[in-house]
Amino acid sequence: MAVEAKRGNIFTRAWRAFDDRTGTSKLVGPMLKHPVPPTGRIGWAYVFGTATLFSFITLVATGTVLATAYIPATSDAYNSLQFITNDTFGHVVRGIHYFAASSMIIMIGLHMIRVFLMGSYKFPREVNWLTGVVLFALTLAMAFTGQLLRWDQDGFWGLVVAAEQAGRLPFIGHALAHFIFAGDTVSGATLSRFYAFHVFFFPALIFATVALHLYLVIHDGISEPPTAGDPVNPKTYRARYEALLERKGVPFWPDAAWRDAIFGVVLILTIVLLAIIFGPKELGKPPDPSIVQAYPRPDWYFLWYFGVLALLPKGTESYVIILAPVLLFVMLFALPLFSNKGERSPKRRPWAVGFVILTLIMIGTLWQVAVRAPWSPHFEVQPLSAQVIGASSGQVYDGAQLFNSKGCQYCHAVNGQGGDRGPNLTNVTNRLTQDAITIRILNGGGNMPAYGGNLTPDELNAIIAFLKSRQPS
């Protein structure tokens, strides 16, 4: 060793001395060199797992930088984000954080599809599928909590809507909403709670679960590309896998992992480039609890789910918003417990392939529905003209202006102008008594926001006078 250490330039000698004291190569070497099945060109389908990890590391790095300037308090959160965004460096860092989040969701989705289609979750890798499902849930939880930290109108009202829906669930609803809000309404406590979850709790869980996930990848080995007509038999699988490695195994680095490295580097460069070109998602207006956001929109990855909620018959939403994800995760957890042997090749598993295609088509369609949103409010509606109103001043005229400025017209048409998310109100005074109309406006319900706190009695009277005046007497 002593003679050995004298050879080579200063860097090799420094490295050898370091390695001698720490045992680094003894620890990492076997991990890098351990034999894996040759994957050939199919190997490109194996890169999405590491790509998810690369995205996560990018998120941790940029998130840490953002946390140095972000102030998690209701009075400052929005301003501090604006400060970050107006700074050139901050602008790019926020952009990278945003696009890396999108990337992590796409990559984890592709990784799950790959593992599912190739039957890689079957014996002996069932437990690793389960840790993967936990990681998927944690990723979505990160996406959900991250949106609120933007603390703009979309984030704020999106949460109000979600928690109100949750609150309508029987038995657990109230407790759940209370837990999400950290109180009875959105407040500073809610923001602190989301911040703590987004920055400490969920990332810590992700780190721990990723460690377990990677340990299991090494313990059970990377699944070999499936061959049709070669089913998994738990009794013989391990022996055959060992024999395969013996015969054809290649060292993980560089023979298998070079693809991961290239894909990961290209991915991160793409994220940085997108961040520089497009910048982060624009901040909405600052949250103002006195302006009901008629139509909060979640980020793209939750948008399709929004489509589901909007298409559902009234009254079922509150159940679906909570129960559908619960059911999905029960199914994902149950998968390896019920089908852990047999064919792995997608060629022999038409149901599995069909299921994936159907899911993708469903999400794509719902997403389109949510983007086009025929049921969504029309934000570009013009106020009614004085001619249509029939007055250019006075209570009726004021009511017409309020009807537009308070957002009623986004959802309700009057005299053929306005959105059609809610009923046409031209003849509403025929259908409903004045009391019923007042109660409806103050209390909302059934996708109609409650305006109780946002209209003075005078304003309310003006709106009702305006609605009455639509009635030919």
Contact residues for ligand HEC, defined by CB under 6 A: 294-295, 377, 406-408, 410-412, 421-423, 425, 428, 431-432, 437, 440-441, 445-449, 451, 463
| CA 236 remoteness from chain centre | 40
Least distance to ligand HEC, CB of residue 410, Å = 5
Nearer to ligand HEC, 225 or 422 (CB): 422
Nearer to ligand HEC, 143 or 400 (CB): 400
**Token pair recorded at residue 304:** 């399709």
Residue in the structure block whose two tokens are 């990559």: 107
State how far the Cα of 213 lies from the Cα of 31, in Å rounded to an integer. 15
Least distance to ligand HEC, CB of residue 63, Å = 34
State how far the Cα of 123 lies from the Cα of 436, in Å rounded to an integer. 62
The DSSP element (H or E) to which 461 belongs, if any, is helix 457-469
DSSP 316-362: THHHHHHHHHHHHHHHHHHHHHH--SB---GGG-HHHHHHHHHHHHH
State how far the Cα of 57 lies from the Cα of 49, in Å rounded to an integer. 13
State how far the Cα of 117 lies from the Cα of 98, in Å rounded to an integer. 29
Least distance to ligand HEC, CB of residue 455, Å = 6
Nearer to ligand HEC, 120 or 404 (CB): 404
**10 Å Cβ neighbour count for 297?**
18
Nearer to ligand HEC, 238 or 431 (CB): 431
Nearer to ligand HEC, 168 or 440 (CB): 440
Quick check: 100 and 62 in contact, CB under 8 A? yes
Least distance to ligand HEC, CB of residue 459, Å = 9
Least distance to ligand HEC, CB of residue 173, Å = 20
H helices, E strands: number in the chain: 22, 2
Residue in the structure block whose two tokens are 């070497």: 29
Nearer to ligand HEC, 246 or 435 (CB): 435
DSSP 391-446: -SSSHHHHHHHHHHHTTHHHH--BTTBS-SSS---TTHHHHS-HHHHHHHHHH-BT
Helix 300-311 vs helix 88-117: crossing angle, to nearest 10: 60
Least distance to ligand HEC, CB of residue 401, Å = 12
Nearer to ligand HEC, 349 or 421 (CB): 421
Least distance to ligand HEC, CB of residue 422, Å = 3
Least distance to ligand HEC, CB of residue 322, Å = 21
Nearer to ligand HEC, 19 or 459 (CB): 459
Nearer to ligand HEC, 98 or 295 (CB): 295
Least distance to ligand HEC, CB of residue 441, Å = 5
N- to C-terminal Cα distance for the chain?
A: 105
